[in-house]
A = this chain, B = another copy of it.
Amino acid sequence: MRIALAQLNYLIGDFDGNVSKIIESVRKCREMNADLVVFAELSLCGYPPRDFLEFDDFINRCGLAIEQIAAECHGIAAIIGAPARNPDIKGKNLFNAAWLLADGDVKGMAFKALLPNYDIFDEYRYFEPNRSFNVLEFNGVKIALTVCEDIWNIGPDPLYVATPMDELIRQQPDIMINIAASPFNSDQESERAAVLATNARQYRLPLVYVNHVGAQTELLFDGLSRVLDAEGNTVMELKAFKEDLQYVDFEFDNERLIPLKPPQNHNELPSKTSLIHDALVMGIGDYFSKMGFKKAILGLSGGIDSAVTLALAAKALGPDNVLAVLLPSEFSSQHSIDDARQLAVNLDVKHEMISISNGYNSVLDSLKPYFDGLPFNVTEENVQARIRAVILMALANKFGYILLNTSNKSEAAVGYGTLYGDMCGGISVLGDVYKTQVYDLAHYINRDREIIPENSITKPPSAELRPGQKDSDSLPDYAILDQILYQYIEKRVGPSEIIAMGFDEATVKRVLKMVNTNEWKRHQTPPILRVSPKAFGSGRRMPIVGKYLS
């Protein structure tokens, strides 16, 4: 039996587009003489469809699309992911289903039992968990068909009381097929590889795994669909961050189904930094193409964050589709202007320079009756950042650019940024990348030649909103700050444990308080491309009004 894996980039709710993509792959696979082609979880409607699932109209369109695809399934079968109505009056109205289509019809279904409802996942919001398990038979092969999370309940502290494969294995399946929607984060690939291999070995079955690829706003699907043999070896792996379509032949040998492909050599995993780089490039590219945008604009300060953002945007959209705007004030240093210009030249990106002095001074003039005699403080700093945003948004509105946000995760965490100022943008490129990781990205971007001027990397970080300002005036050194933030945000470790790791008590308490009291600011920021296991946004839901560690 020849099984093909179709790893595609879907657009949520775009039934016409998704169905044509799927049908095109079905045809291609038939030409390759595949017996079965497997698509990802909820491939039909894209993942995550969120509250679109609450619309009857949306579910009806899923049903029509299933019929269209089934009609195409002659001489080949397909497994595809789509919601299914729950016929029982009790419980939620939908299942998250894998549909087996063949001979122009629906031949079988498997419903997801384990519904992830943590971090960015909300599946129990929509779906009833499956409670009855049956293998599906196709061409004499018994398939244990599961959906994503169904095979993840294997650790020492299982999140769910039941494990679907423990039920299915009793019916002696020949192969496991798992359709998934497993987004990238920099730890995910090693964890996922372990989960897949553990399942194959534990149940002594080959495993076909098909994932999404492409970005859905903040969620970045890395693909890496694959086939494992019953010993847990990978015999085939599809591309990372790209669409791909490949197949493997299986044959019975001594009543055991075996992939006719030797185990792959174990590839060295690419560095985390290169994975994050590629994920962000895909994230920018898909955000623009799926929203129907072409051109990006950003404010280029000469600092490291906007420099890295610009390099990533130029890579994702092409240098011709990016405009860098230098927006100096009286506090901007000449070296910052020079560095910014040099970067634009190195990247072959068009740049403009517009002074904010006029706008800044006019606004302060209007406020003179109120501010007269009061000292310069964060108010005036914020006015600068906000006038920059007004100018960038005006250019964006007039010429059809989308503003890229350049804030990093360290700043977003402690609220070191101006709301409606430098926190503006259609999408946040670095909002899940700590400052220390931004430097890693800069070095990676410069791996072959100096693209980002060395000076942008080596100079002390500064917002340049008052004379001689440095980030270190207000914040602990990033090397310390980022470690504390990582423990608190990614690892969800409390203050006493972080202090016990050897960090200064006052610093820890100050940092955690800054994180918690700035929740209101993060509430109003753009979606953040997610590259860590715990990004700000829908994966981290904190009270705004509250008093905890604050």
A-side residues, CB < 8 A to B, are 11-14, 17, 46, 48-52, 54-58, 60, 88-93, 117-118, 122, 124-125, 156-161, 215-217, 286-287, 290-291, 352, 354-356, 358-359, 361-367, 370-371, 374, 377-379, 382-383, 386-387, 389-391, 393-395, 397-399, 419-420, 424, 426, 492, 494-497, 520, 523-527, 538, 540-550
Residues of B close to A160: CB separation below 8 A: 90-91
Verify A386–B390 contact, CB threshold 8 A: yes
A57 to B494, CA, bound (A): 5
A480 vs chain B, min Cβ distance (A): 21
Verify B12–A159 contact, CB threshold 8 A: no
User: In chain B, what residue has the closest Cβ to A389?
Assistant: B420
Verify A541–B543 contact, CB threshold 8 A: no
From known contacts A390-B386, A494-B57, A541-B122, infer whether A398 and B420 are also in contact, taking CB-CB under 8 Å. Answer: no
Verify B161–A91 contact, CB threshold 8 A: yes
9 additional A-B pairs beyond A93-B157, A117-B124, A524-B526, beta carbons within 8 Å, are A11-B546, A13-B548, A49-B546, A57-B494, A89-B158, A358-B366, A359-B362, A363-B387, A370-B398
Verify B359–A52 contact, CB threshold 8 A: no
Residues of B close to A550: CB separation below 8 A: 13
Verify A48–B543 contact, CB threshold 8 A: yes
Residues of B close to A393: CB separation below 8 A: 382, 386, 419-420
A216 to B161, CA, bound (A): 33
A314 to B125, CA, bound (A): 38
Residues of B close to A93: CB separation below 8 A: 157
A362 to B540, CA, bound (A): 40
A378 to B520, CA, bound (A): 29
A125 to B117, CA, bound (A): 5
Verify B117–A14 contact, CB threshold 8 A: no
Verify A57–B394 contact, CB threshold 8 A: no
A468 to B389, CA, bound (A): 28
Verify A58–B548 contact, CB threshold 8 A: yes
Verify B391–A379 contact, CB threshold 8 A: no
Pick from A13, A14, A359 the residue with the most CB of B within 10 Å. A359
Verify B390–A545 contact, CB threshold 8 A: no
A425 vs chain B, min Cβ distance (A): 9
A523 to B523, CA, bound (A): 8
Pick from A88, A124, A524 the residue with the most CB of B within 10 Å. A524
Verify A546–B117 contact, CB threshold 8 A: no
Residues of B close to A520: CB separation below 8 A: 291, 426, 527
Verify A14–B363 contact, CB threshold 8 A: no
User: In chain B, what residue has the closest Cβ to A47?
Assistant: B543
13 CB < 8 A contacts A-B: A13-B543, A57-B496, A60-B494, A89-B157, A90-B160, A117-B125, A355-B366, A358-B363, A362-B362, A366-B391, A386-B389, A386-B420, A389-B420
